[in-house]
Structure 1
Amino acid sequence: MHYLNRYWVGLVLILAISCFLQLMPDWHQQLTFHSETVMSQGWPLITTHFIHLNWTHALFNFAGLALIVVIWREYWNTRWLVNALLLSSAATSLILWLLPFTVIFVGLSGVLHGLLGYCLIKDIKAGKKWMWLIVIALIGKVVVELLGWQPDHFVGQHVSVIHAAGLLTALLLYKLERRRISDAVPHKD
């Protein structure tokens, strides 16, 4: 059973769920994040990150997730990968819900920014100081996107905000890693 805790099991599980949901286009409207209705439904806070505009969009996001998980495999096990993905998904969605304009989106790219940022923070804390260059490049990319530069493959007007919200979740992931819910409850001695 120990092999079930390896990083690749979590990756396969996440990709399988995403592929299954992508094969159910009739469900997409109910699973999509729409900032005006998301809180009355709840589930789109998470589910929107597991569906995509089309298979090309899905495959690019799947490749990004696989690269992050495989390159930084020492930071992942099944439990933490699934937890990190769910935490980043919910936090990204909550940040987008708080914005003063309507956001409608699907896809994993915001969460990928959070997972990548988390891995870079872990590398820096592990002594790989040169990773600051990649952090600065990633933040610079997101800032430039927020200022209006968007490649042709971006679909939708709020992709840059989604990436920025996802990147912010890297700090949350770093803060919450390896914490247990029971640690948040004060113990009487």
Structure 2
Amino acid sequence: MERFNQYWAGLVLVLMFSAFLQLMPEWHPLLTFNSDNVMAEGWPLITAHFIHLDWWHALFNFIGLALIVLIWREFWTTRWLVNALLISGVLTSVVLWIIPIELTFVGLSGVLHGLLGYCLIKDIRSGKKWMWLILVALVTKVIIELLGWQPDHFVGEHVSYIHAAGLLSSLVLYKLERRRLSDAVMRDE
């Protein structure tokens, strides 16, 4: 069981799940985030992040996830990786649902921004102060995207909102890491 709790097992599990969903294009309309009906259905809060526009989109997201997990492997266990993906996915989706624009999306890029931000914050807090440069660069990139700059590879006009919402989730991930649900419950002493 200990081997399953290592970071690579979580990475393989998530990649296999996402690849399986990618092989089921007939399910994609049901799993896609659409701000008009996401709260009525519920599951697209999570599932939209694990399906992609096509296999190239999936491949780049898979590579991004693998790099984040491999570079910062000391931060991940299978349980925390899956939890972080779910927490970041739901938070990203809820933020996107709250903002007053009609939005439809699939893909992991928002969550990847959240995971990357989380890892950078962890590195900074552990004494690697130079990571501030990378975190500032990431935040600056997202702000510039929000101001209207969009590279040619962006698909859709609202990708900047997805990246910003994902980046916001990194703060919650840092706050929640390694906490047990039982720690949040008030006890009468």
User: Is the shorter-chain TM-score for this pair beyond 0.5, marking a shared fold?
Assistant: yes
Task: State the alpha-carbon separation in 1 of the partners of residues 164 and 170 from structure 2.
Answer: 10
Residue of structure 2 equivalent to 1:17: 17
Distance 1:100 1:140 in 2: 23
Describe how 1:34-183 pairs up with structure 2 within 5 A: 34-183=34-183
Q: Which amino acid is the alignment partner of residue 78 of structure 2?
A: T
Q: TM-score, normalised by structure 2?
A: 0.99
- After TM superposition, give the deviation of residue 29 of structure 1 in Å: 0.1
Letter in 2 for 1:140: T
Q: Match for 1:160: what amino acid?
A: S
How far did 1:93 drift? 0.1
> Does residue 1:185 correspond to 2:188, yes or no?
no
1:125-176 Cα offsets, whole Å, 9 max, x none, are 0000000000000001001111111111100010001000000000000000
Q: Show structure 2 runs of 5+ residues with no match.
A: none
For 2:46 and 2:29, the matched residues in 1 are separated by: 14
Using the size of structure 1 for normalisation, the TM-score is: 0.99
Which residue identity does 1:37 align to in structure 2? N
- Map 1:21-32 to 2 at 5 A: 21-32=21-32
Distance in 1 separating the partners of 2:100 and 2:155: 20
Deviations along 1:2-24, whole A, 9 cap, x unmatched?
10100000000000000000000
CA distance in 2, matches of 1:93, 1:35: 9
> How many percent identity over aligned positions?
71
Q: CA deviation at 1:184?
A: 1.1
Alpha-carbon distance between aligned partners in 2 of 1:100 and 1:160, rounded to the nearest angstrom = 14
SS of equivalent residue, structure 1 residue 27: helix
SS in 1 for 2:84: helix
For the residue of structure 1 that corresponds to 2:178, the secondary structure is coil
The 2-side partners of 1:99 and 1:34 are apart by 12
